[in-house]
Amino acid sequence: MNRHSTRRRAGRLAMAVAGTVAASLALAGCGGAAGTAESPAASDIDPDGIIEAGISYTLNGSFDPMVASGAVTVSANWHIFEGLIDLDPVTQEPAPALAADFPTQVDETTYDIDLREGATFQNGDPVTADDVVFSYERVLDPANNSLFRSFVDFIDTVTAVDEDTVRITTDYPFSLIDDRLGVVKIVPKAVVEADPEEFGANPVGSGPYALVSAVPEDKIVFERYDDYNGPRPALAAGMNWNLLADASARVTAMSTGTVQAIEDVPYIDADGLAASSEVESVQSFGLLFMMFNTKAEPFDDVRVRQALHYALDMDKIIETGMLGNATPATSFLPEDYPNYHEASTVYSYYPEKAEELLAEAGVSDLAITLRMTDTGWVKEVAPLIKGSLDAIGIDTTLDISQSASMYEKVDSGDYTVAIAPGDPSVFGVDPDLLMNWWYGENVWTQTRTAWADSPEYAELRTLLDTAVTQEGEEQQESWNQAYDLISDQAVLYPLFHRKLPTAWSSQELVGFQPVPTTGLSFLDVGVAAK
């Protein structure tokens, strides 16, 4: 099947299935006539079916949503836990989850949220306002070193109004609260306090699937939580996530029918798999960025940083190294993203401009060691990037290493230029969150780029801090100015935004859609009845 038409067809199917199956299951729960002519989609799904998936990344770290940041644990937690408001993994739109509805605004810094009636954790305990307060306070407590604290640091207090209602106050008017509340997943206070380490290994949430077991380098097993009463009930009896870090093993598992869906299809295998499966490359925010140590000459000069960007033949790099599965950056955000604005500086391939900028900066005979990570697709583009830089007279030596090793050098200041992948959109997609990942007051600006004490960074902070208090056109204009500034300064800036190929069997799975981040989502997905 033509990969480029798959999403449109899958989207129509998914919307039809999600609506009718949810309605059918609701009727069944109330004694209605599920599976009749009024709800044909329910008869298309085997309620006893098991979803088999092929997962690309290794399992490491805790499932505790306060600290879970690995590709596997984050996507697993979409199914195990709920926030008050969650972002749909496919559409990336917010919707009430454990909240009965979106927050009610009391005043410009106060919100009341009612909890979903009858919601329970997977151990049978009811979800209470005290659990919500506990969940937020542990993330906000600096002593817990939660990665997600900076995403919700606009929150001042979270208090229980009664057993089923919480009140959130913010330090200042914050217009993105619906988009941001899902960063914090709600956990059972009693279970976590009893044994935090055990909770990280055997999590208990309120989501549609409960974790049964997780064996690194083997598989993760889930089962349906039968007492789930939320908007996205499990449509399968369980799931087996087979951990297949080896790309050829994933492709073989998909082509032989051992699994029904795989993430991270190798670009070279996409067309072959498309003969027997649905294969689609979804445009993602995920990017490859070039980063400079601005304390190291000559990269303290913006002209030199810009020169390296203009030197790159991005069309050749993408077509040859990525087999077309990326889009050259024209801004911090991809063009199909909400809040996109074409940046004032767009780095098209312009080697003459690169040479002029280097000459203006008084730089000649430049030699660099380019630090890069050993991610498979990054290694594919590395020699092409080197070739572009060499072509304008920059003597480029590649130093390709594991991510941890590369960042050890970067964090010690032992680098001038680095190229690496990144994708914080798994945590949220609003421009403030995405920009603050790299341009917040954190290790990226204070240590890695050493940019935090510059007047340009101070200007960027003012723009970002102002934007979150604004709405509509005013907010967009502040973000546009931020995009323009970071494109012009090129301290850390995307080279391209990657497309993510996913493969699945539409004969085996009903309602499946690929996500624009790492991971697979099986919310509102069932196994086809035979």
Would 491 be classed as within a structural domain? yes
Over residues 95-112, the pLDDT tens digits come to: 999 999 999 999 999 999
pLDDT category, 276, cuts 50, 70, 90?
Answer: very high
In this predicted structure, the answer to whether residue 12 has a pLDDT above a threshold of 90 is: no
Would 435 be classed as within a structural domain? yes
Over residues 153-182, the pLDDT tens digits come to: 999 999 999 999 999 999 999 999 999 999
Q: Based on the structure, what is the number of domains in the chain?
A: 2
Over residues 431-442, the pLDDT tens digits come to: 999 999 999 999
Give, in order, the Cα–Cα distances in Å from 290 to each of 287, 427, 468. 10, 22, 27
Would 31 be classed as within a structural domain? no
Would 138 be classed as within a structural domain? yes
Would 327 be classed as within a structural domain? yes
Beta carbons of 347 and 406 less than 8 angstroms apart? no
The region of weakest confidence among 13-17, 394-398, 509-513 is 13-17
Q: Are residues 369 and 467 in the same domain?
A: yes
* Overall size of the chain counted in residues: 530
pLDDT category, 22, cuts 50, 70, 90?
Answer: very low
- The dihedrals phi and psi of 301, each to the nearest 5 degrees, come to -100, 120
In this predicted structure, the answer to whether residue 18 has a pLDDT above a threshold of 60 is: no
Would 148 be classed as within a structural domain? yes
pLDDT category, 2, cuts 50, 70, 90?
Answer: very low
Q: Which of 206, 230, 263 is the last residue of a domain?
A: 206
Average pLDDT over the chain, rounded to an integer: 92
In this predicted structure, the answer to whether residue 38 has a pLDDT above a threshold of 80 is: no
Mean pLDDT, range 464-468, rounded to an integer: 96
In this predicted structure, the answer to whether residue 5 has a pLDDT above a threshold of 70 is: no
In sequence order, which residues have a C-beta less than 8 Å from that of residue 315 and are 6 or more positions away?
A: 328, 349
Q: Are residues 311 and 440 in the same domain?
A: yes
Would 259 be classed as within a structural domain? no
In this predicted structure, the answer to whether residue 146 has a pLDDT above a threshold of 70 is: yes
160 CB burial (10 A radius; 0-12, 13-18, 19+)? middle
Which CATH number characterizes residue 101's domain?
A: 3.90.76.10
Of 146, 154, 214, 202, the C-alpha closest to 178 is: 154
Which CATH number characterizes residue 300's domain?
A: 3.10.105.10
Q: Are residues 190 and 329 in the same domain?
A: no
Q: How does 289-307 read in b/e, with b if 16+ C-beta sit within 10 Å? A: bbbbbbeeebbbbbbbbbb
Q: Are residues 287 and 426 in the same domain?
A: yes
Q: Are residues 290 and 200 in the same domain?
A: no
Q: Are residues 288 and 198 in the same domain?
A: no
Over residues 46-91, the pLDDT tens digits come to: 999 999 999 998 898 999 999 998 899 999 999 999 999 999 999 9
In this predicted structure, the answer to whether residue 348 has a pLDDT above a threshold of 60 is: yes
Mean pLDDT, range 258-275, rounded to an integer: 96
In this predicted structure, the answer to whether residue 40 has a pLDDT above a threshold of 70 is: no
Can you give the residue range of the structural domain that contains 157?
82-206
Locate 46 and state its tokens. 């085997």
What residue type is assigned to position 96 of the chain?
P
Locate 439 and state its tokens. 């341009």
Give, in order, the Cα–Cα distances in Å from 342 to each of 159, 333, 467, 493. 42, 9, 18, 14
Over residues 374-429, the pLDDT tens digits come to: 988 999 999 999 999 999 999 999 999 999 899 999 999 999 999 999 999 999 99
In this predicted structure, the answer to whether residue 299 has a pLDDT above a threshold of 90 is: yes
3-state secondary structure of 295: coil
Angle at 127 between CA 112 and CA 424, to 5 degrees: 70
Would 257 be classed as within a structural domain? no
Over residues 209-240, the pLDDT tens digits come to: 999 999 999 999 999 999 999 999 999 999 99
Q: Beta strands of 364-416 (E only): which ranges?
A: 367-373, 395-401
Q: Are residues 309 and 188 in the same domain?
A: no
Q: Are residues 358 and 485 in the same domain?
A: yes
Mean pLDDT, range 481-491, rounded to an integer: 99
Q: Are residues 464 and 340 in the same domain?
A: yes
pLDDT of residue 468: 95
Q: Which of 206, 237, 254 is the last residue of a domain?
A: 206
Mean pLDDT, range 267-284, rounded to an integer: 95
Q: Are residues 433 and 308 in the same domain?
A: yes
Chain centroid offset of residue 358 CA? 36
pLDDT of residue 243: 97
> In the chain, pLDDT over 90 holds for what percent of residues?
88
pLDDT of residue 334: 97
Beta carbons of 85 and 95 less than 8 angstroms apart? yes
Nearest-angstrom CA–CA distance, 185 and 256: 37
What residue type is assigned to position 241 of the chain?
W
Q: Are residues 195 and 287 in the same domain?
A: no
pLDDT of residue 484: 99
Q: Which of 206, 228, 244 is the last residue of a domain?
A: 206
pLDDT of residue 6: 31
